[in-house]
Amino acid sequence: MAGRKLIQTKDGSSSVYDAYWNASFHSIHGAITESNQVYIISGLQQLQFNGPSLQIFEFGFGTGLNAFLSLAYSQELSIPIEYTVIDSCILEMDLVYQLDYPKQSNLRKYADSFYRMHQVSWGKPSQIDTNFTLHKIQLDWNLFEPEFEQHFDLIYFDAFGPEVQPELWNYDSLLKTHKILKLGGLLCTYCAKGSVKRLLKQIGFKVESLNGPPGKREITRAVKL
């Protein structure tokens, strides 16, 4: 998509700015720091693994950073992850090659997997690494009809903010996330807006406000009751 360009964030890691939405893919205070805190520490690391695999769903593949950090976790702990992600607008490969995530000292050993995640076909599951399968769905979330009821242990809800795309944060949109989660499953998001938290409660989540990464006082974790 025209109008996307690489940016540097304050922890030294890169991200992408989208001129159409006038929004960046991650916090300008630190892309890797934010992804780690919101999705890996507050979500993935909280899951009990009872086998045979963890099922994760992400809204918004984007740079693949959340998927990449999850892949590193699956390799380091030998926990199989089946990762499903939806995105309507795929990032161009010339931008993918400019991202510095696979050059980070702790992630360098997974660099080939990072590029493989971006190169594999959309629309079918692909084995990326020993413990990591990726199924990329190219579709507008508004058209997504969940066929996976009660399927996922964890959702990373990483849409652009409610001010930018309010239709992704309304009752019907959030209800879809509730449907595809297992009982006790978690939804994590950087968004801490009061109206979004109230909708999540109304839909049937228990909502927790957690400390946010730099530049963000709180983030949200919701548990499906």
Ligand X SMILES: C[S@@+](CC[C@H](N)C(=O)[O-])C[C@H]1O[C@@H](n2cnc3c(N)ncnc32)[C@H](O)[C@@H]1O
| Residue ranges in contact with ligand X by CB under 6 A | 25, 60, 62-63, 65-66, 86-89, 140-142, 158-160, 165
Q: In the complex with ligand X, which residue's Cβ is closer, 3 or 204?
A: 3
Nearest to 139 by CA among 127, 159, 122: 122
State which residue, 130 or 142, has the beta carbon closest to ligand X. 142
By beta-carbon proximity to ligand X, the closer residue of 142 and 202 is 142
What token pair was written down for 148?
């996976």
CB of 188 to ligand X, least distance (A): 11
Sheet holding 125-129, edge to edge: 125-129, 132-138, 81-87, 54-59, 152-157, 181-189, 218-224, 205-211
Nearest CB to ligand X, comparing residues 184 and 188? 188
Closest distance of CB 168 from ligand X, Å: 6
The DSSP code for 160 is S
Kindly state the helix (H) or strand (E) to which residue 54 belongs, with its residue range: strand 54-59
CB 49 to ligand X: min, Å: 23
Look up tokens 């940016």; give the residue. 7
Least distance in angstroms from the C-beta of 138 to ligand X: 9
